[in-house]
């Protein structure tokens, strides 16, 4: 019994010293970190946990130290003259990221699908002269090659620090009803588009030992009924990122995945989803009508189209800065994460997907997927 207090004191002292060392190291890496409340939490919890002279007290204090450490800001690299290429800057995350990174001092290359479009004009009018817009359709190799030539010339021998693969589209409807060409288009943009960009620009990124940031989605790891093409394409982007992270580690290039859960962007705007809906309805035959509630589905969609509200935007987060912040962290953090789940409930959703039984998850996903215009089957009697 005499050994117990000494062992207990040793464990406590070890935890305190280890925590103090890692916090001090983090602080000296970034002198701007405010440590007041972090240290207050540890100092306050130390005597409280010490009252439990057993493993409970040790574990409680160790957990508090871990939580406080995780809350510490991660040191960021200096921006200096770092150059970043972002695709899909016409609107949404890409547009917001291009504006914010430009305001911080990055040399931004903003790829826009529509030359002379509203998104490009806003960037030209509202950003510094250091930002360069490029016409960039990630499905067209000639435009990617032209963008590479422009960027390589402007960099004048420097490397490209960051590539943010953001361009993407969404789809809707059941696998059986969705035309193959829609699957191909979504895959071509969301996954192959990122592959084309990476293959072309990797030599410039290797030169600077830079960063690749791929905009995926929680749908890349979760199966939502009615979003098959989108889920498949984002799942492909996820596994691509995991493979690249292993292949590029020796080059000093890091790969991060951003996984938003639900934000108000133009990816699901009315005109884009209406085109997919018309394609679905063109392929409906008698067998499909006898198997699915096509009439109910069609009436629901037509009503949404008439009201100009294909989706209920109130269900989605309007604050795109949350995603922009994690893009910035992936680009500048001294220790970028491999994955950044972001948005309401994203981390809970990911945890549930990894731990709950499929029979429960399938029921939950079917309920969630009603907003994605999943077509209900006719019940077999």
Q: Average pLDDT of 14-28?
A: 65
Tens digits of per-residue pLDDT, 284-320? 888 888 899 888 888 888 888 887 766 666 667 778 9
**pLDDT value for 1:** 42
**Alpha helical stretches, state H, the chain:** 3-29, 36-50, 55-71, 92-104, 118-126, 141-155, 180-187, 193-208, 228-247, 270-282, 286-291, 294-306, 321-332, 346-355, 358-368
Average pLDDT, the chain: 84
- Arithmetic mean of pLDDT, 353-371: 76
Contacts of residue 272, Cβ cutoff 8 Å, sequence gap at least 6: 169, 170, 266
Structural domains of the chain ordered from first start: 3-71 (no CATH), 83-372 (3.40.50.720)
**Helix pair 193-208, 228-247: axis angle to 10 deg:** 20
Reported as a pLDDT band with limits 50, 70 and 90, residue 326 is very high
Pair type for strands 339-342 and 132-135: unpaired
Question: Where in the sequence numbering do the catalytic residues fall?
Answer: 230
User: First-to-last CA distance in the chain?
Assistant: 71
Quickly count: other Cβ atoms within 10 Å of residue 53's Cβ.
14
Local structure of 98: helix, strand or coil: helix
pLDDT of residue 34: 54
Each residue of 242-269: pLDDT tens digit?
A: 999 999 999 999 999 999 987 777 776 6
Q: What would the pLDDT profile of 36-55 be if each residue is shown by its tens digit?
A: 555 565 556 656 665 555 56
Q: Please list, in sequence order, all residues whose beta carbon lies within 8 angstroms of the beta carbon of residue 379, skipping any fewer than 6 positions away.
A: none
- DSSP string spanning 219-246? GGTS--TTBHHHHHHHHHHHHHHHHHHH
**Angle between helix 180-187 and 270-282 (nearest 10):** 150
Q: Which of residues 117 and 40 earns the better pLDDT score?
A: 117
| Closest by CA position to 305, among listed 283, 284, 265, 276 | 276
Does the pLDDT at position 345 exceed 80? no
Task: To the nearest 10°, report the CA torsion of 328, 330, 331, 334.
Answer: 110
- Render pLDDT for 127-158 as a digit per residue (tens, 0 to 9): 999 999 999 999 999 999 999 999 999 999 89
- Confidence at residue 171, expressed as pLDDT on a 0 to 100 scale: 86
Both structure tokens of 90: 């016409």
Coil, strand or helix at 56: helix
Query: By mean pLDDT, which of 181-195, 220-234, 267-281 is the weakest?
Result: 267-281
Residue 2 has pLDDT above 50, yes or no: no
Q: Is the pLDDT of residue 21 over 90?
A: no
Average pLDDT over residues 372-378: 79
63-72, 86-95, 282-291, 301-310: least confidently modelled range: 63-72
Comparing 45 with 106, the larger pLDDT belongs to: 106
Mean pLDDT over residues 195-215, rounded? 97
Question: What per-residue confidence (pLDDT) applies to 381?
Answer: 44
Residue of higher predicted confidence among 134 and 227: 134
d(CA 136, CA 311): 27
Go through the chain and tell me how many residues it has.
Answer: 381
> What percent of the chain has pLDDT above 90?
48
pLDDT digits over 145-192, tens only?
Answer: 999 999 999 999 899 999 999 999 988 889 999 999 999 999 999 999
pLDDT score at 176: 92
Above pLDDT 70, what percent of the chain? 77
73: left (phi > 0), else alpha (psi -120 to 50), else beta? beta
Per-residue model confidence (pLDDT) at position 313? 66
- Residue 336 burial class via C-beta count within 10 angstroms: exposed 0-12, middle 13-18, buried 19 and up: middle
The answer on pLDDT for 5 being more than 60 is: no
Q: How far is it, in rounded angstroms, from Cα 241 to Cα 115?
A: 29
């Amino acid at each position: 019994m005499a050994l117990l207090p000494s062992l207990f004191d040793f464990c406590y002292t070890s935890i305190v010293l280890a925590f103090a060392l890692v916090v001090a190291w983090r602080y000296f890496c970034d002198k701007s970190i405010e440590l007041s409340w972090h240290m207050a939490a540890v100092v306050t919890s130390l005597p409280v946990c010490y009252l439990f002279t057993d493993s409970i007290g040790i574990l409680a204090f160790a957990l508090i130290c871990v939580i406080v450490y995780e809350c510490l800001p991660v040191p960021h690299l200096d921006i200096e003259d770092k150059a970043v290429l972002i695709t899909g800057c016409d609107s949404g995350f890409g547009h917001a990221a291009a504006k914010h990174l430009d305001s911080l001092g990055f040399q931004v290359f903003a790829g826009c699908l529509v030359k002379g479009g509203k998104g490009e004009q806003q960037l030209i009018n509202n950003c510094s002269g250091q930002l360069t817009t490029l016409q960039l359709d990630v499905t067209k190799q000639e435009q990617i090659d032209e963008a590479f030539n422009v960027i390589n010339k402007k960099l004048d021998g420097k490397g490209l620090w960051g590539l943010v693969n953001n361009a993407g589209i969404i789809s809707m409807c059941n696998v059986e009803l969705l035309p193959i060409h829609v699957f191909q288009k979504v895959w071509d943009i969301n996954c192959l588009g990122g592959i084309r960009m990476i293959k072309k620009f990797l030599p410039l990124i290797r030169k600077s030992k830079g960063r690749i940031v791929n905009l995926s989605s929680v749908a890349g790891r979760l199966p939502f009924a009615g979003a098959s093409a989108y889920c498949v394409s984002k799942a492909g982007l996820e596994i691509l990122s995991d493979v690249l992270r292993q292949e590029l580690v020796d080059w000093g290039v890091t790969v991060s995945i951003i996984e938003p859960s639900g934000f108000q962007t133009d990816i699901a705007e009315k005109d884009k989803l209406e085109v997919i809906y018309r394609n679905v309805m063109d392929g409906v035959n008698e067998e499909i009508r006898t198997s699915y509630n096509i009439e109910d589905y069609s009436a629901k969609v037509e009503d949404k189209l008439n009201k100009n509200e294909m989706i209920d935007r109130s269900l989605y987060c309007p604050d795109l800065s949350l995603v922009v912040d994690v893009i910035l962290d992936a680009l500048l953090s001294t220790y970028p994460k491999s994955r950044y789940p972001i948005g309401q409930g994203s981390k809970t959703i990911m945890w549930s997907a990894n731990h709950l039984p499929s029979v429960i998850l399938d029921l939950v996903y079917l309920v969630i997927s009603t907003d994605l215009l999943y077509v209900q089957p006719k019940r077999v009697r």
